[in-house]
Structure 1
Amino acid sequence: MYFFEWGFWQVCVEAKRKKGHETNRHNHLKKIDVYESDAHDSQAAAQESVSQTPKARGPVYVFDDVALEMRCGTSEAKRGLVTILTLAVMTVVLIEFLLAGSLIVSAIEILLTKSNAVYGHDLLLAMFLGSLASAASWFYLKYGLRFTRLEMFTSRHLLIRFNHKTQQVYLHRPSYCGGIMTLPWKGVTSSGAGERYSIAGGVGVPLFLYWSARVTDTLHPVSVWVGKAGNNQAELRDEWEFIRRFMDEGPQSLPRPRITSHFPWPWQAFTPQFEGLTQYFRHASRGIKIGLLLIWPAFVIIGMGHWASLLLCWKPRWPKLIRQAGLPGKPVPPQTTLASYPAHIQERLRANAHLWAVRPGKRPEKKPKTAARKHT
C-alpha cells in the first residue's frame, strides 16, 4: 500500500490554502527546525561502517556488478484492505447493473411477444437499480479511485535501485507518489546509520532513507522505506551496511542475497503480514499465541486481498536509460531537478519550499533547566 508515499507527495505539492484554512500537517511541519549541522552529521554518519555482518533481508530483485534493486515502500503488510473494500463495492455495483439489464430484457420480451403480462414494475425497478448503480459508480470514480490506485491497477511494487557504477539511486513510483526519480548517492541519510538515527528501535519499521531538499535540488526532500520491517535495530544496521558497501566498495565482498521473482506468488501476499514480528511471536505469552490461532481467518482474508492486489497490478518497468545505466558506453541518467517536473508541479513545489527550509549554522545548545522557585 502506497499511502505514506502518496500522502507525503500530497504535502509537497499541496495547493496554497486561503488564509485561516491551513492544514494541520503544514502547521506541524512548520514547527520542525532542521539545522545545517544536523544534515552534515547525519550524512557523515551514513558514510561510516556500522556492522561487520552485512546482510540484505530482501526482497531483492537484481544483484550484479552494476545494480542492487530492492522493494521499497511502507505498510506492505496492510496491503489488501483497500482491495477487499474495492472489490466488494465493484461486485455490488455490477450485480445492480446486471439485475437492471435483466429486468429491461424481460420487459422487452413481453413487448415483443405482445403478452398481457404486467411489466411496468420491472421497468421501474430497473430504473431504480440502474440509477443507484450509476450514482455509486460516479461517486467511486470521483472519490474512491484515487485510494484504490494505492494498491490496485498500478505498479506491483515500489522499487529502489542502487547503481554502483554511476553512484546514483533510482526510485520507481507511480506519478501520484512522486514518479520516477534519479538521486545522488552522496548526501543520503539512513535510520540504520546508528542508534542516534534509529526509528522506534528498528521494531516493526523498514530501513528509512532520506535526502534533504538541498541534496535533491527539487525544493522538496525525498524519503523512502527499504525492504522488510525489522525486528530490531541490528537487522536494519546489517541491511544498511550491505547497501553502503555495495555502493562504496562494490559487490565483491558481499554475500549474494536470495533473488526474488516479480511474479506474484501466493506466499508473497501472506508473509508480509508477519514482517518485523518474529521476536514478538517468539517471546509472546501462551495466551497471545492462542489468541493468534483464533483469529487466523483474519490473516487469511487479508492475505487473499493482498494477493488479489498483486494480481491486479503490473510489473514495474524502468526506463531504458536507467536499465542501461552503468553499462560500458551507456550514458549516465541526469539527476532529477525541479526542471524535470511539469510547470504546475514546479509552481507548487516553489510555493511549499519554505516547509523544508534548513536553518544555517549549528543547532544551539539547550539551556539548562533552572530549578523552580520554592514557594513558602
Structure 2
Amino acid sequence: MYLIEWGLWQMATESKAERRAYEAGMTPAEKRANRNFYEGDLDENIHFSQVSDNPRARGPVYNLNEVFMDLRCGGAEEKRGLITLATLGGVLPGVAFGIFMTAGSIWLDITQPESSSFLAALLTIALAFASGSALYFYLKYGIKFTRLEVLTTRHLLIRFNRKTQQVHLHRPDSCGGIVTFPWRTTGSTGIYPEDDSLSAGMRLGLVWHPSLTGLPHMEMALVGKQGQGGSELRDEWEFIRRYMEEGPHAVPRPRLSTQLPSPIQAFSAQFEGLGRFFRKSSWLSKVALLMVWPAFVIVGTGHWLSLMLCWRPRWPKVIREAGMPGKPVPPVTTLSDYPPAIQERLLANADRWQLKPGKSPAKKPRKPRTSRKPKEID
C-alpha cells in the first residue's frame, strides 16, 4: 500500500484551497511545530559517521553488487491487501452487477416489447442511472485509491549506486515518480541511540531536504521492514552507509529476495513488527494474537492478490546503465523535470520546508511547582 507516499506527494502539491482547509484544522501548537525548523539542526542531523558496530540489512534486498544495491521501500507494506479486498470483494462486483442488470433490462425491453410497461421502463432508467453513477464516481474518485495497490508497480524501490554516488527512488507518478539525488544529501532517522525506543513499529526513514537538493519540496523514503526496537534502524543505516562509503566487502552479504509475487512475502509482511513483541508479551496477549489468525490470513491473501495484479518495476535505461564504463551519469532531479502545473503547486507549498537561520533555542527547564500552604480556618 502506497498510502503514505501518496499522502506526502498530495501535501507537497496541494492547491491553495486544500491547504487553507488543512491549516484551518490545525491547533496552534501544531502550527508552531511546523515552523520550528533551523539550519543548525539540519547540519547536525545529516552526517555519515559510524553509528553502529553491527551493520545489517533486514531486507528485502533485491540486488547487491559492486555497482548498485536495490532495497524495498514503502511505509505501509504490512497493511497492503485491504484496498485490494475492498475493490475486488465489494466495489467492482457491485458496479459489475449494476451494469449487468441494466444491460439485461434494456435487452429485455428490446427483444420483448409486448411485455414492457411504463413501470419497467422507469425501472430500467433507474438502474441505468444508479449503475452509471456508481461507475462514474469510482472512475473519478475511487480508482486512484485502487491503484495504490492494484495495476501499478509491485514495489517501491530505492537504488544506491556506489559508482555515481547517487540515490534513486522508483515510485508511481501519483507518489512523486522516479527521482535522483546525490548520496551526500541523504538524511537518516537511524542516527541517535536515544531514538532506539521509538523504533518499534517504525521503518528506517531517509530524507532529502530542499536546502540540499534545490527542489521546492522535501522527499522521504521509508526503507525495509518495521523495526522491533533496540538498534535495528541504526544497524540498517550503517549497512547502507558502509556499502556506499566503503563497498560491498565492508558489509555482510545479505540474503537476496525475489521480485516475483511470492506468497511468503505476502503473509510474512503481517508479522514484521510482531516478533519481539510476541516473544516478550504475556501468555494472554499470545492467545489473543492466535485467536485473530483468520484476519492475518485474509489480509495476507489480499496482499498476495495485490502483488499478482501488479507488474515488476523497471528502472529507466539511464539508471540501469549508470556506473558502467562509458555510460553517462543520470542527471539529478530538478524542478524543470516536472510538468508546469506540478511545478506551480510545488512552488506554492515551498514555504512549508523553509529553515530558520541558526540553531533551535534550548528548552528552558520547567520550574518545580511550589506546594501551597492551606489557608487557616478561623
- Same topology, TM > 0.5: yes
2:93 aligned with 1:91, yes or no?
Answer: yes
Match of 1:184 in 2: 182
* Distance apart, 1:101 and its partner CA: 2.2
Q: Does 1:76 align with 2:73?
A: no
Shift of 1:375: 6.4
Mapping of residues 221-300 of structure 1, within 5 Å? 221-300=218-297
Amino acid across the alignment from 1:75: A
Greater Cα shift, 284-293 or 33-42:
284-293
Following superposition of structure 1 onto structure 2, how do residues 285-324 of structure 1 map, counting pairs within 5 Å?
285-324=282-321
* Corresponding residue to 2:104 among 102, 105, 129: 102
AA of the residue aligned to 1:189: G
What is the aligned partner in structure 2 of residue 171 from structure 1? 169
Of residues 212-221 and 97-106 in structure 1, the stretch that sits farther from structure 2 once superposed is 97-106
Distance 1:269 1:123, change over 3 A: farther
Identify unmatched segments of 5+ residues in structure 1: none
SS of the aligned residue for 2:357 comes to coil
Segments ≥4 residues shifted beyond 6 Å: 373-376
**2: distance between equivalents of 1:40 and 1:199?**
21
| 1:5 counterpart SS class | helix
User: Percent identity between the aligned chains?
Assistant: 48
Encode CA deviations 1:203-241: one digit per residue, 9 max, x unaligned: 111111111111121011111100000111321121111
Out of 148, 151, 160, the residue aligned to residue 149 of structure 2 is 151
Q: Secondary structure at the match of 1:208?
A: strand
The change in CA–CA distance for 1:199 and 1:210 in structure 2 (over 3 A counts) is: farther
Q: Tell me the equivalent position of 1:325.
A: 322
In structure 2, do the counterparts of structure 1 residues 370 and 238 end up closer, same or farther at CA, with 3 Å as the change threshold? closer
For 2:223 and 2:134, the matched residues in 1 are separated by 37
State how many pairs are aligned: 369
- The offset of 1:333, in angstroms, is 0.7
Q: Secondary structure at the match of 1:252?
A: helix
One-letter code of the match for 1:43? I
Q: Which amino acid aligns with 1:94?
A: A
Corresponding position of 2:64: 63
Q: Is the 8 A contact 1:216 1:222 kept in 2?
A: no
Question: Higher mean Cα deviation, 49-58 or 239-248?
Answer: 49-58
Are the equivalent residues in 1 in contact too, given 2:196–2:231 (CA < 8 A)? no
1:67 and 1:375 mapped to 2: Cα distance?
66
Q: Deviations over 1:150-192 (max 9, x none)?
A: 1112111111000011110000111111111101111222121
- Aligned CA distance change for structure 1 residues 312 and 21 (closer, same or farther; 3 Å): same
Say what the alpha-carbon RMSD is for the aligned residues. 2.3
Q: Does 1:40 align with 2:27?
A: no
Structure 2, unmatched stretches of 5+, are: 374-378
Q: Tell me how far apart the structure 2 counterparts of residues 66 and 25 of structure 1 sit (CA, whole Å).
A: 45
Amino acid at match of 1:73: G
Q: Greater shift after overlay, 220-229 or 333-342?
A: 333-342
Return the offset for 1:308: 1.5
1:25/1:71 Cα in 2 relative to 1: closer, same or farther (>3 Å)?
farther
Write the letter of the residue equivalent to 2:214: D
Q: Equivalent residues in 2 for 1:347-358 (5 A)?
A: 347-358=344-355
Task: Please give the secondary structure, in 2, of the residue aligned with 1:186.
Answer: helix
